Amino acid sequence: MSLSRRRLLTSAGIGAAGIGLGAGGYLVGHNDADAAEPEGTGRVAFDGEHQAGISTPVPNRLHFASFDLETESRDELREMLEKWTVAAREMTEGKMIGDYAGNHDELAPPEDTGEAFELPASNLTITFGFGPAIFDRPGLGLSSKRPAALKPLPPLPGDELIPLESDGDICVQACADDPQVVFHAIRNLARIGRGTVTMRWSQLGFGRTSTTSREETTPRNLFGMKDGTANIKAEDGEAMDKYVWVDEGPAWMKGGSYLVSRRIRMVLEVWDRSSLQDQEETIGRSKYSGAPLGEENEFDPLPLEEKGLDGKPVIPANAHVRLASATENSGVRILRRGYSFTDGVDQSLGELEAGLFFIAFQKDPEKQFVALQEKLGVHDALNEYIHHVGSALFAVPAGTKPGGYVAESLFS
């Protein structure tokens, strides 16, 4: 069975289990989900200057989906985005999609699939983006509004990309505290878009691998290492403006950002046989404290100039944190929002198919992500333990105004 086919079946199994868990709650109880929802259950406003799901705190569950556009009609695309925006507002408020009649007509399918009925909003954020290829469609008439920074990522060192797990015309990122809530969001948007878009690939994620707020503690990835210690924090407005928010180009992108996703397979069995010293020198941090090698605390500065008694750098020349640090990259930084994933077993190897679904936001992908990966892909000691198998780039427009829809000015 092929890798992509097996992943599809695995994801379907996870989804079916989620539906089963929610079915009983939909059949009994209140007719109005709001009536059953207590106060303080975590709602993130959908509308705003920037789309939610970029600088907002990172919850622990993800469902990310990439869609291919099946129409050449600009009006059909716009109408779908209008419907998606209405549905996203309803879901982020913890409401069902549609009205009472649309969900209680016994002779028609309900507008909402129902598995999130009576569940709280769970800090759900839904973020939309557009891939480069959508601007090449002559029938859409959008070529003049394509941002200069939105171009396909070049081949990068370490790429082992699977085409059906890469790219796409439109992406949707759903993040929340509840896995059933994020599954519900992607499922319903896919259903609303049927006939206009087809899902190309999707990824479920658990366990955030970075923080975007100083109020969050640094999480651990599947290597057991603290991840994202040096990430940009939302409270640092100067850094957000310098590295994340777009301030040039078409009006519809001002206040937006560029999303790079990478599906990174971790070779856990090899990592697990490596010594603690090898693991720490590969990353450049202590496994348990998260402190840079040679230091005591997680947030101590990287001692990049220090050498040990043997005359070698305390943090090895090929350590991940050294090569990824802003100091070694002319100050370049990106905002990370990644998740761990597991998709069953790779039958060809008899090993766990698990890893990091890397997500990063930035102002200029070529100057930021591409520049970093060109160095990491060649020199990073971590390359022994990872494989980049999926990749995509999307332009994430600015936020919406109440009553408006996502990327509205793109169609003006």
Span 32-47, pLDDT tens digits: 333 333 444 699 999 9
Could you identify the residue written with the tokens 């695995």? 10
Could you identify the residue written with the tokens 């190309």? 200
> Residue 30: is its pLDDT beyond 90?
no
Assigned domain for 41 exists: no
Q: What is the mean pLDDT of residues 131-136?
A: 96
Cβ proximity of 175 and 206 under 8 Å:
no
Assigned domain for 44 exists: no
Q: Is the pTM of this model over 0.75?
A: yes
> Residue 26: is its pLDDT beyond 50?
no
Instruction: Domain of residue 116: give its range.
Output: 3-36+53-401
313 DSSP β-pair partners: 307
pLDDT digit string, tens, across residues 270-302: 999 999 999 999 999 999 999 999 999 999 999
pLDDT at position 41? 65
Q: What is the mean pLDDT of residues 139-165?
A: 96
Instruction: Report DSSP state, residue 112.
Output: S
Number of domains in the chain: 1
* Exposed / middle / buried, residue 248 (Cβ in 10 Å: 0-12, 13-18, 19+): exposed
Q: At what angle do helices 179-192 and 3-27 cross, to 10 degrees?
A: 100
Assigned domain for 215 exists: yes
Assigned domain for 245 exists: yes
> Residue 7: is its pLDDT beyond 80?
no
Measured over the CA atoms of residue 282, residue 226, residue 295 and residue 271, the dihedral's sign is negative
Assigned domain for 412 exists: no
Q: What percent of the chain has pLDDT over 90?
A: 86
What letter represents residue 347's amino acid?
Q
Assigned domain for 43 exists: no
> Residue 245: is its pLDDT beyond 90?
yes
Q: What is the mean pLDDT of residues 185-202?
A: 98
Assigned domain for 42 exists: no
